[in-house]
Structure 1
Amino acid sequence: MPLDPDEPSIEQTIEALVGDLRPVAPLRLWTGVLVGLGLTALAVGGVWLVFGLRADVMAMHPAPIVVARGAALLAGGLVLLVAALRAAVPGRGDEGATALGTMILGIMPIGLMGLLLQGIVARQRPSFAELTTHITLRCFCIALAASLLVGAGLIRWMRRAAPTDIVRASWLIGWAAAALGTFAYSLFCPSQTMAFVTAVYPAAMLVAATVIRLATPPLLRW
C-alpha cells in the first residue's frame, strides 16, 4: 500500500511531540516549607484583620499558655508539613517526621486525659464552663477557615509533585494545615485554660484535617 505523501513520518511526529515539551524545575522541599510558612503568615494576617489578636500577643508579652499552645501547634504543623512534602516526592521517607509531628500534637489530647485523671484522683470535676455552643462554634469556624486557606495553598504546590500514596499524603496535608491554621486562631483565642485547649483544639483540628483529607485526592490526581 503506497504511503500518503501528506501524512507525517514517524520522525516528524516524534519531533512535534518533543517540541511541545518544556523543562520543569525540580521540586525543592525548602520551597514547600517556605510556602507553608507564607500561608501560615497569611492565615495569621487574616485572623488579625477580621477578628484581631489577643492584647498580650499585640503587646509582645503573651501569656505562658499562649506560648505553650502556639509552640506545640507551630512545631507539630511544620514537622508534619515536612512529612507531607517528603511524601509527595518519590524516594523520600517521611516516617520519622510523621512520628515526631504526631507526638508533638499528641500533647494536647494527652493533656485532656491528664486533666480527667487528675479530676478522678482529686475527686474534683474539671471545669469546662468555657465550652459554650457559641464559643465552640466560633473556634471551629475560625480554625477551619484558616486551615482551609493553608491547605488550599499546600495542595496547589503539591500538584507539581508525584505522591505515590495519595491517601497518606492527603492526611499529612490535612493535619499539617489543621495545626498551622489552628495556630493562627490561637493568637486570637481569648481562652487561657488547659481544659479549653486540650478539648476544643484537637476536635477543631480533627474536623479540619478530615475535610482537607476528603478534598485532597481529586485535586492531586491527574
Structure 2
Amino acid sequence: MNSPRNRSDLIAALADTAEPVRRVRAWQGACLIAAATLAAAIGTSTLFSFWDGILTGEASPYFWIGNGLLLMLGAASSAALVAGALPQVGPRANAPVWAFATLCLLPLAALIQLVWASGHHAHDGLADPAAWHCLTSALAAGLVVAVAAVLFLRRAAPVALARQAWLTGLAAGALGALAFGITCPLDGIAHLGIWHVLPVPIAALAARVIVPPLIRW
C-alpha cells in the first residue's frame, strides 16, 4: 500500500467511482431558513391574525426587546449552523452561546417581577391562560424552521452532529417564537419572558435527540 503503484491504483479506483455533485453553499442554507421563517410567520398570521398593535404603536418596549433578542439568537444560530455544515478549518463561532445567555435575562426579569407582583408567590403569575397556546404555537412554527435546517444539513457535510443539532434547535425555537410573536397581543414581561422564551430550550433539547440521526452521513 505504501508503494507508489499501490497508491496510484487506489486513487484511480476512487476516481472511477466519484461522481460530480452540485456544490452546497452557506448562503443557500441561510436563504432556506429565512424562507421557512417567513412561511411560518405567514402561516401563524393566517391562523391567528397579525397583531396590528405592532404598527399602531401599542406594543410595549418589552415586545421589541424580547422579539429583538429572539431575532438575534435565531440569526446567530442560523449563521453558525450553515457555516458548520460545510468543511472548514478554524475556530467555531460562539455568538449563539452569548445570544442565548442574553435571552435568558428575560425569564429572569419575568420571575423577579412575578415574585414582587404576587406577594412572593410566583406561581400565581405563572397561571397564564394563553401560556400553552403561545408555547405550542411557537413550537409548531419552529418545526417549519427545523425542517428547513435539516434539509440543508442533509445536503451538506456536517461533522459535529451534536453541535449542529443544538444549533438547529436554538434557531428553530427562536425563529418559531418570533414568527408566532407577531400575532400575540400579550406584551408584558411576565408573558414574553417565560412563554415566548420557553420554546427555545425545549426545541434545543428535542433537536439534540432527534436531529443527529437525520443528518448523519
Displacement of 1:22 after TM fit? 1.6
Seen in structure 2, the aligned counterparts of structure 1 residues 113 and 130 have a Cα distance that, compared at 3 Å, is closer
Q: 1:106-117 to 2 correspondence within 5 Å?
A: 106-115=104-113
Find the counterpart in structure 1 of residue 80 from structure 2. 83
CA contact (8 A) 1:47 1:184 kept: yes
Residue 179 of structure 1 corresponds to which residue in structure 2? Answer: 174
Kindly indicate whether residue 35 of structure 2 is the aligned counterpart of residue 41 of structure 1: no
Q: Aligned residue for 2:59?
A: 63
Is residue 206 of structure 1 aligned with residue 201 of structure 2?
yes
The alpha-carbon distance between structure 1 residues 36 and 15, as it changes in their structure 2 partners (threshold 3 A), is closer
> Residue type of the partner of 2:66?
R
| Runs of 4 or more above 4 Å deviation | 12-16, 122-127
- TM-score, structure 2 length as denominator? 0.81
Which one-letter code corresponds to 2:170 in the other structure? Answer: W
**Cα offset, 1:110, TM superposition:** 2.8
Q: 1:102 — aligned with what?
A: 100
Query: In the aligned structure 2, how far is the partner of 1:15 from the partner of 1:220?
Result: 25
- Per the alignment, in what secondary structure is the counterpart of residue 202 of structure 1? coil
CA distance in 2 between counterparts of 1:167 and 1:45 reads: 31
Assess if the C-alpha contact under 8 Å between 2:168 and 2:207 holds in 1: yes
User: Displacement, 1:16?
Assistant: 5.3
Paired letter, 2:51: R
Residue 133 of structure 2: aligned partner: 138
2:71 aligned partner: 74
CA gap of 1:162–1:92, structure 2 versus 1, over 3 A, is farther
Q: Distance in 2 between matches of 1:165 and 1:14?
A: 25
- Amino acid in the other structure paired with 1:137: W
Which structure 2 segments of 5+ residues have no match? 1-9
1:174-204 residue CA offsets vs partner (Å, 9 max, x unmatched): 0111000000111111212111111222322
- 2: CA distance, partners of 1:81 / 1:155: 12
**Aligned-residue RMSD, C-alpha:** 2.8
Mapped partners of 1:101, 1:77: distance in 2: 9
**Is the radius of gyration larger for structure 1 or structure 2?**
1
Q: 1:106-165, CA deviations, whole angstroms, 9 ceiling, x for partnerless residues?
A: 232332344256x29x95656626613xx2221122111100000000110111222222
The amino acid of 1:79's aligned partner reads A
